[in-house]
Amino acid sequence: MNTTIKRGALIVFEGADGVGKSSISKDIATRIEESGRSTLHYAFPGSEEKTVGKLVYEVHHDKKSYQNISKTSLQALHIAAHIDAIHRKIIPALDSGVTVILDRFWWSTYVYGIVDNVDALVLKALIKAERLVWGDTKKRCCFPDRSRLSAP
């Protein structure tokens, strides 16, 4: 009897705020779960209490309390939240055969950083750290398809 667990698939939904990616990705996760496969729906930066992701979400959305944070530091915090979730939740889920539906990826960090005039070389260095943590993990599919884009 073969007890080897097949690695789960990573499916990424990416896009700007308000375009429907969260609703669609949650619906897809529900449908996959209903078909009998285990799924984890995760949205970057995260919303679990007492995590880096929740802290970053609060920093990002409470502009009055955190108005003195530089745009570069904010993007570094986003990458820190991603790395934390990758280590704690995403890689362990994939390794146990769970399909991970991810709402956002490092592309958002790059795009929002560029829009906020963060130095592109700094953004690329931050993203390189996250990509190192991903290791050999490959996306099964991505919506919209980013396969033709080169990594920063």
Q: CATH no. for residue 139?
A: 3.40.50.300
Strand partners, 18: none
CB 41 within 8 A of CB 29: yes
Tracing tokens 């790059």 back to the chain, one arrives at 110
Confirm whether 2 is domain-assigned. Answer: no
Question: Is 16 or 11 the better-scoring residue by pLDDT?
Answer: 11
Confirm whether 149 is domain-assigned. Answer: no
Confirm whether 151 is domain-assigned. Answer: no
pLDDT digits (tens, 9 = 90+) for 55-73: 998 988 887 888 788 999 9
Confirm whether 113 is domain-assigned. Answer: yes
Confirm whether 148 is domain-assigned. Answer: no
What total of structural domains would you count in the chain? Answer: 1
Question: Is pLDDT at 30 greater than 70 in this prediction?
Answer: yes
Buried b (16+ CB within 10 A) or exposed e, 20-55: ebbeebeebbeebeeeeeebbbbbbbbeeeebbbeb
- For residue 29, the model assigns a pLDDT of 93
Q: Which residues, including other chains, have CB under 8 Å from residue 35's CB and lie 6 or more apart?
A: none
Question: Is pLDDT at 21 greater than 80 in this prediction?
Answer: yes
- For residue 148, the model assigns a pLDDT of 47
- For residue 93, the model assigns a pLDDT of 96
Q: Which domain holds residue 51?
A: 10-143
CA distance 57 to 66: 11
Q: How confident is the model at residue 95 (pLDDT cuts 50, 70, 90)?
A: very high
CA distance 19 to 21: 6
CA distance 122 to 130: 13
Confirm whether 51 is domain-assigned. Answer: yes
**In the chain, beta strands by DSSP E:** 10-13, 39-43, 99-103, 141-143
Strand partners, 103: 13, 43
C-alpha distances (whole Å) from 76 to each of 12, 20, 22, 37 are 21, 25, 23, 34
Mean pLDDT, residues 123-130 = 95
